[in-house]
Amino acid sequence: MAEVKVTKKMVLEAIKAAAEGMDFGEVITAADVIAYANTAIAQLDAKAIKAKERAAEKKADGDALRAVVESVVSDEYQTIDAITAKVAETEGYEDITKSKVTARLTQLVKANAIHKVQGKTEDNRKVMMYALGEAPVEDTE
């Protein structure tokens, strides 16, 4: 049988069920324990909803950035620095970082929307260069 991860919510539900009909003394009643468990469960649910909203918002921001990065990549090979500079010229992305652009380029390569090759710059540095379309097929002859 698959192992089940015990969550806080599951523990609170068990405490709530066990508390019904129990006597805790004069200070704390079963109703107090059940009310506490209900409050804690409601807080956990609210926290989960907020986390999902933040995740959806971040995903939407990432999707928008990915679309901008894809729009500035052309048929000609460009370095990450050149692509980052073009994205920074786009309204709303003036403070974009190279690492964010690199991450979106990697996503686009994995999705086969663009391709990358290793090239050299004017100062003979080896860098990755990106262009639209699929990678060119090299002859094996």
Mean pLDDT of 16-44: 87
pTM: 0.57
Please report, for the chain, the start and end positions of each structural domain, with discontinuous segments joined by +.
1-72, 74-141
Q: Which amino acid is at 140?
A: T
What phi and psi, each to the nearest 5 degrees, are found at residue 133? Answer: 90, -175
Model confidence band, residue 137 (pLDDT cutoffs 50, 70, 90): low
CA pair distance 111, 92, nearest whole angstrom: 25
In which order are the strands placed within the sheet that holds 78-79?
78-79, 126-132, 114-120
Model confidence band, residue 140 (pLDDT cutoffs 50, 70, 90): very low
Model confidence band, residue 22 (pLDDT cutoffs 50, 70, 90): confident
Q: Give burial (CB, 10 Å; 0-12/13-18/19+) of 128.
A: middle
Does residue 121 or residue 126 have the better pLDDT? 126
Whether domain 74-141 has CATH 1.10.10.10: the reply is yes
What mean pLDDT, rounded, does the chain reach? 85
Residue 136 scores a pLDDT above 70:
no
